[in-house]
Amino acid sequence: MPSPQEIRAAQAKIQYQENLFHFAVAGRAGAGKSSLVNAFRGISNRDASSARTGVTETTVTLGRYPDPDERCHHVWYDLPGAGTIKIPDWQYFNAQGLYVFDCIVVLFDNRFTNTDVAILLNCRRFKIPTYIVRSKADQHIRNMMKETGYNSDDENVDRTQRAALYTAAREQLVNETRHNVKANLAEANLPDQRVYVVSSSCLRAVAKGEQPKKVIDEIHLLNDLYTEAQARRVCREPAGEISTGD
C-alpha cells in the first residue's frame, strides 16, 4: 500500500484537481494507448496537441492531455507501457501511481495478459472503476477477412460478399475476445465485466459527434465512461449544491 507521502507525490505528478475527472489509459507496451487517448479527445494522431504515436513504444513518460472542449472537466493520461525492461509487470501499478486516478482504461491489443489482470486486481483493491478495451478492431477484422481468402484488390468481390465477410469477421473477433477475457477473469477470481472492442478511427469520429457506419462498442464505451465520471463528480459536490453538468 502506498504511504500518504507517496499518494501526495503521485497526485502532484499528474496535477490532480478535485474539480476534474482523471482518466488513465494503461496496459502493455504497443497496445495503442496513445492513439486511444487521441481518439477519446476527438483528435487525430497528426494533431499538434496529440499524444505521440509510433511503431515502437514511444511513451516513456506520463502524458497529460486535457479535453479540447473546455466545458468538459476530463483529463486523459497516456501512461508508459508495462512489460518493458524499464517497467517490469510487477512494478507497473505502483510505479505509475495508478492508485490516484479516478478511472482506468485497461487496454490490450492481441492477448489479454497477466499484466492486465494485475492492473484489475489492484484497481479492485483501491475501488477504482475499470474499463477493459480491446483496440485496433479494424486491423484485426481485416486480418481475419484475409485469412478467409478475401483480397481487397480483387475486383470480382462484390459489395454484398464483402459486407458478409466483414460481418462474420467482426462477430468472430467480438466473441473470441469476450470469451478469452471472461476465462482469464474467472481464473483470477475476478468478477466478469464487459469488454469493449473498438477502433481508434471510429472512436474518434464518435467523440467528434459523428455517426460512423462500422461502430462496434465505441458509443457504449464513451457513454459508460462519461456516465461514470458524471456520477462520481456529483458524489464529490458539497451537500446542497446542484451539478450543472459538463
Residue 66 pairs with which residues in a beta bridge?
Answer: 75
Contact 140, 214 (CB under 8 A): no
Q: Which strands, in side-by-side order, build the sheet including 74-78?
A: 63-66, 74-78, 21-27, 103-108, 130-134, 195-197
- Cα 161 to Cα 59: distance, rounded to the nearest angstrom: 40
Q: What is the largest CA-CA distance in the chain?
A: 66
Asked whether the beta carbons of 22 and 103 are under 8 A apart, the reply is yes
* Separation CA 130–CA 128 (nearest Å): 6
pLDDT tens across 139-163, in order?
999 999 988 877 766 666 677 888 8
Nearby residues of 221 by Cβ (< 8 Å), 6 or more positions away: 131, 133, 196, 198, 203
User: Tens-digit pLDDT profile for the chain (246 aa)?
Assistant: 889 999 999 999 999 998 899 999 998 877 888 899 999 999 987 776 677 665 444 445 788 998 888 788 899 999 887 766 566 666 788 888 999 999 999 999 888 988 899 899 989 989 999 999 999 999 999 999 988 877 766 666 677 888 888 999 999 999 999 999 999 999 999 999 999 999 999 999 999 999 998 999 999 999 999 998 887 766 655 543 333 344
Distance CA 77, CA 170 (A): 29
- The three cell numbers of residue 92 are 507497473
User: Each residue of 88-132: pLDDT tens digit?
Assistant: 666 788 888 999 999 999 999 888 988 899 899 989 989 999 999
* pLDDT score at 111: 87
pLDDT, position 24? 94
Residue 17 vs residues 8, 21, 239: alpha-carbon distances, Å: 12, 8, 19
Q: Which domains does the chain have, with CATH numbers?
A: 4-136+192-236 (3.40.50.300)
145 neighbors 169 (Cβ within 8 angstroms): yes
Q: What angle do CA 221, 145, 179 make, to 5 degrees?
A: 45
* pLDDT recorded at residue 89: 62
pLDDT, position 241 = 39
Query: All 3 cell numbers of residue 10?
Result: 503521485
d(Cα 145, Cα 235) in Å, to the nearest integer?
46
How many residues make up the chain in this entry?
A: 246
Instruction: Give me the pLDDT at residue 60, please.
Output: 56
pLDDT for 182: 96
What is the three-state SS of 112-138?
Answer: CCHHHHHHHHHHHHHCCCEEEEECCHH
Predicted pLDDT at 45:
77
Q: Which triple of cell numbers denotes residue 103?
A: 478511472
